[in-house]
Structure formats: structure tokens, C-alpha cells
Structure 1
Amino acid sequence: MRNPRNDPLGSPAPQDASARPGQDDGGGSERRCVLTGSHAARDALIRLAGSPPDADGAVHILPDAHARAPGRGAWIGVDRPALERAMADGRLRGALARAFRTGRLAIPDDLPARIEAALTRAFLDRLGLEMRTGRLILGSDRIAKEARMGKVAALYHAADASEDGARKLDQAWRMGSDAEGSGLRGTRLPLDRDALSVALGRDNVVHLALADTRSAQRVEIPLGRLQTFLAAGPPADTSEDRVA
């Protein structure tokens, strides 16, 4: 199956039987989780894509972290432990057989690990894109300065960031956002400083921020999917009134 990240803009749109009638394929359209039957915005769910049948007629199931791969797909909105249970008791295979209309499925045993890796990479790639366009703010001193000036739309802390360092930046963000006493604080990421530093090509990335709301909203999609899968809590507040 082609890598979803390399699909050209002109690739055929994904085909999903779980889309509600009359809805477009935008981020606000809803999809149904094949395991729970519940509906949610497509940006909140994780897409599994199926390859064209191989020589033996089997459809290979792989994560589609960007939800762009052509062909049929199925959506899940459960965390990793729930997915592992569904694989163990056969519910995932049954749900995917109905979604892809075939019982000849090749589901890798390490599918949960592959999903986590793909979602992590999608999130880190998005951060890298925002850094290249100058919208990612790094360094505690710079973040604190921009936050106090009301120029931070979203704030994040590495999983192993100190509570004291995170608390000081949270306070600066609340001050600049006229949100003192609100409890507004940065998001604790499910990644440590080493993972962030390697991905961004910088030393000791412990705290990071985004300078505008649109950037924060772009990052929120892959981060939200990763957090859902890891049951790690909601992404940062990216509402318009957080930006000066």
C-alpha cells in the first residue's frame, strides 16, 4: 500500500462506508467507529486503510495516520488497550471484515504499535512543518516573553518537563491571555524531551509553543488522535481569544 504521507494532492479521495449520508469529507464530517458504533468528527478518529488485494486475495490493514490514503478505510476511536482487547477476542477482525466487505484480511500482530508509531510521526512531522514556517517557539525564556505579550496560541511541555518549569510558563501564558485564575495551562505531551529534540533537530526541547491559532489547530488534529490512542487527555486550548 502506498504511504499516505506521499500521496499527491490529486490522489483519489478515501472511500469510507462509515461516512454519514450528505456529509463532505472535511475535518468536521463525522465517521463511525467500527468497534463501538459511536460517531465522532473524522479528525478525532483514527483511520485504518486497506491495500488492494494481494496475489492471494488478502487485503492488508495498515494505519493511515493522515487519513488520506485512497481506497476503502475504516475508523476507530478507541485507545490502545481497547484495540488490543478487540484484536485478542476477534472483534476487530469481524468489524473490519464488514467494513472492507471481505473476510480475507491480513491484520499485523503489531498493529497497535504501528498505529502509535504512525500517529507519533504525524504529530512530530506537523511540528516540524510549523517550525520551518517560523510559527513554533522554542526555549523557555523566549516562550515566557512571547506568552506574557499575548503572542502564544498553544503551549506544550515534554512528558519529563519539571513541574516548576511548566508552572512558570503556564503562569506567563495566563497573564498574557488575560486568563489569570482560569486554570489555563499547557498540554503535557506524551513524548519526552529526547524524542522532541531528535524530531526537531534541536538540543533539549522541553517546552514549545505555537504563535498563532491556525498553527495550533493544525497541530491539534494529529496530537488529538495520538492522545486518544494513548488515553493521554485533550490537546491544548486553541480558541481564538488566546491570541493577541
Structure 2
Amino acid sequence: MRKLPNETPSKPLDRAPHRKCILTGESLPQEALVRLALSPDNAIAPDVRAKAPGRGAWISVDRSALETAQAKGILKGALARAFKTGTLTIPDDLAGQVEKALERATLDRLGLESRGGMLLTGSEKIETAARQGDLNMLLHAADAGRDGSAKLDQAWRVGSDREGQDVRGQILPVDRQGLSVALGRQNVVHIGITDKRAAGRISHMLDRWRHFIGSDKVGGASDDGGEAEKKVA
């Protein structure tokens, strides 16, 4: 089995490198923030994978706060200080670009884990793994049926000895069509992650994406991104 590129650290977030948000001044683990980069033509662009060369600027705010900071000119001033230049261009749709980049990075990670054999699709396979206690993370498409999701949630609670607890799979900010394209499979409605390190990698990226778009835009989400991180640690 080929080794997947690891876009998140093997260390828990509390021991990962910290960066300071240019808008709030808060210092947080690097993987919880979004990096903004300055292109050779002095244009600001999202660099959510933190791969672009040169100096970067980090933000921890959600989309609404970023749009407000840009509209009030606060973002431009903060970026000018971070990059030590006043000659920079901020695209009007920067917040939209960041959201799309976070979505793409998360779906790409799911695709990589799928090709590496780290996850399951298909309700029957997921339910079997859940009842056997082999599931580390459970995800549902945004348009998944309530009954189907509830059945898998219950199987997961039974298999992990957490009956009676509010343990449910996370509802993703993407529908089954988007998941199907990302995984290169047909009609992907539910995803079960069996490998705990893969669950941690996905959880880090999904948490950052969900934070940026705002939890109110993701229907009835559940729990266990945090559970996955604890197991990885």
C-alpha cells in the first residue's frame, strides 16, 4: 500500500507549531489557521496547504468575520504589516476563494485516503465495521437520508460501547455528488474511516473547513471529529 502524503502533523495540535492570527492576535496551532500568501505580482491568495514560498500571513476567523474585516479595511492594514508592504491587491472574493480552497483540500484528502484503502463506502460495509468496533470516524453527505444516517449512527454507538450517548456521524458541507466525484465512486452517501490516523488527518482538515464556513451552515452535525483526534494522539 502506497504511503499517503501527510498534510497534518503526527503530533497532537497542542504540540504543533503555533501561528498568530493577523486579525485577532490569537496564537493557535498552525493547522487550525488558514495561510494567506503574496504572489509575485503582489496579489493575496489563499494557501490552505501552506506550501507557497515566502512570507505568509495567518488568519483564524470565519468567513463572516473575514468579509467584515475586508470591507472595513482592517484586513488590508493587517496584511500590509504582515508582508511589510502597502502595495498589495486583495481580491474582492477572497473569502469565497478561501472557502473553495478549504473544500478542495478536504475532498482531496478524502480521495487520497480512499485510494489508500483507509475508508469504506456503502451502508452495509460501514454498518458491519461499525458494529464490530472497527470504525474511527463516520461521515454523512449533506443530502443523506435521515433514516439511513440514524441507522449507521446507532450501529457505531453499539460497536463502540456508547449506547445512550449522543454519538453521531458528522454531516459534511457537501452533497453525495461532490463526495462521489472526490472519491471516484458512484453514489457516495456515507463514509466510514477505519484507520485512526486517517481519521485524525481528515478531522483536522474538516474542522478547519467547518469553522470557516460557520457551523450554522452545516445541518445537524454531530460529534466525533474530536474523538478521532484523541485516538490519534
Alignment TM-score, normalising by the size of structure 2: 0.86
Q: Which runs of at least 4 in structure 1 moved beyond 6 Å after TM superposition? A: none
Deviates most, 181-190 or 231-240: 231-240
How many angstroms apart in 2 are the aligned matches of 1:241 and 1:199? 26
Matched, 1:218 2:201: yes
The correspondence for 1:113, drawn from 87, 96, 100, is 96
The equivalent residue for 2:127 is: 144
Give the SS at the match of 1:238.
helix
The equivalent residue for 1:13 is: none
Deviation string, structure 1 residues 99-131 (Cα, Å, up to 9, x no partner): 111111111111111111111110011001101
The equivalent residue for 2:36 is: 48
Task: Give the direction of change, closer, same or farther, for the CA distance of 1:235–1:90 in structure 2 (3 Å limit).
Answer: farther
Structure 1: which 5+ runs fail to align?
Answer: 1-8, 10-25
Give the SS at the match of 1:106.
coil
How many angstroms apart in 2 are the aligned matches of 1:157 and 1:103? 44
Q: Which amino acid letter does the alignment assign opposite residue 128 of structure 1?
A: G
The correspondence for 1:238, drawn from 225, 228, 233, is 228
The sequence identity of aligned pairs, in percent, is: 54
The equivalent residue for 2:26 is: 38
Structure 2: which 5+ runs fail to align?
Answer: 1-5, 7-13, 216-220
Matched length: 215
How many angstroms apart in 1 are the aligned matches of 2:224 and 2:203? 6
How many angstroms apart in 2 are the aligned matches of 1:231 and 1:186? 18
User: Contact conserved, 1:227 with 1:235, CA < 8 A, in 2?
Assistant: no
- Following superposition, the deviation at residue 220 of structure 1 comes to 1.5
Alignment TM-score, normalising by the size of structure 1: 0.82
Give the SS at the match of 2:166.
coil
The equivalent residue for 2:107 is: 124
How many angstroms apart in 1 are the aligned matches of 2:54 and 2:180? 35
Alignment of 1:2-21 (within 5 A): none
- Following superposition, the deviation at residue 83 of structure 1 comes to 0.8
Going by fraction, where is helix more abundant, 1 or 2? 2
The correspondence for 1:79, drawn from 22, 44, 62, is 62
Task: Give the direction of change, closer, same or farther, for the CA distance of 1:171–1:231 in structure 2 (3 Å limit).
Answer: same
